Amino acid sequence: MLFRSGAALRASPGVFRGGRPGGLVESLRERDSAVSATDLLRTLLEGFATIWPGRHSLGSTNLGDVWMHPAAGGRGLSANMIPFHKLSQWLAYSLFEPLALGGLTVKSAGALTGLPEYRNGGLLVDLGVLVPKHAAVLAEEHAPGDELIVEWRALTVALLDRIADAVRQRLGKTAEQLPLANILEGGTWAAGRAVAKERRPGGGSPIRVRSDGTVF
């Protein structure tokens, strides 16, 4: 992935000036003094599209962290597809502060989704919010594309929005005052890690995933 990332930087000089990661700031500055969170994510998805292992694609475009589930609905070529883009969204969230330090305003910070990864999702399982129907769910190891894992991740994204609403109501904050990004890092992710450490040696996920490091 490091080699492919270097190739992606060199192949997108319009996004990464000089073939450098930091060149992204220069290219964004040239467009405007502000960037929306969704445009930032779109730029990252397009700029780094070639680094992800080939799984599902539309035409010649590798979709990256996108998976199939029979209940996802939709029509046409994207039917039953669920886009997560966990690592790309995490990168987008991580760039909010350095972009602001670089003189760029990040608009609509709450437009991105929660991160469908094992700390957030593990918290929901460990605290009994999500209860597996079969004991094998917790006993066996699963592949990232298994229906169980895709469904777990999708439920995690949906429930993080509900958690965020409950936290804001409890603290008397609006979505603008307390965006989802703030609730994730210091809230659900940190809590998921702490609870996992209490319940399992090594603090691993309650649902084990056979991952290559490009999903979780």
Q: Do 119 and 197 fall into the same domain?
A: yes
- Nearest-angstrom CA–CA distance, 82 and 209: 18
pLDDT over threshold 90, residue 56? no
Mean pLDDT, residues 185-199: 93
pLDDT, residue 102, reads 86
- Nearest-angstrom CA–CA distance, 143 and 149: 7
Tens of pLDDT, residues 75-130: 998 899 999 999 999 999 999 999 998 889 999 888 999 999 999 999 999 999 99
In a domain, 216, yes or no: no
Q: Do 37 and 11 fall into the same domain?
A: yes
Q: Do 17 and 83 fall into the same domain?
A: yes
In a domain, 132, yes or no: yes
Q: Do 103 and 119 fall into the same domain?
A: no
Place of tokens 């029509």: 75
Task: Please report, for residues 78, 88, 193, 199, the alpha-carbon distance to residue 117 in angstroms, rounded to integers and kept in the order given.
Answer: 22, 12, 11, 18
Return the closest-CA partner of residue 65 out of 127, 188, 153, 172. 153
End residue of a domain, out of 63, 93, 110? 110
Predicted TM-score (pTM) of this structure: 0.92
Tens of pLDDT, residues 133-148: 998 999 999 999 999 9
DSSP state of 134: S
pLDDT, residue 91, reads 94
In a domain, 140, yes or no: yes
Task: Give just the sign of the alpha carbon dihedral 193, 158, 68, 82.
Answer: negative
Q: Do 106 and 175 fall into the same domain?
A: no
Please give the residue range of the domain that contains residue 78: 2-110
Q: Residue 36 — very low, low, confident or very high, per pLDDT cuts 50/70/90? A: very high
pLDDT, residue 113, reads 94
For the chain, how big is the Rg over CA atoms in Å? 18
pLDDT, residue 147, reads 96
Place of tokens 């039953």: 80
151: its two tokens: 């469904």
In a domain, 48, yes or no: yes
CB-based burial label for 78 (10 Å; 0-12, 13-18, 19+):
middle
pLDDT, residue 209, reads 94
DSSP assignments along 36-78, one per residue: EHHHHHHHHHHHTGGGSPP--EETTEE--SEEE-TTS---GGG
pLDDT over threshold 90, residue 61? no
Q: Do 93 and 148 fall into the same domain?
A: no
pLDDT over threshold 80, residue 216? no
Q: Do 30 and 120 fall into the same domain?
A: no
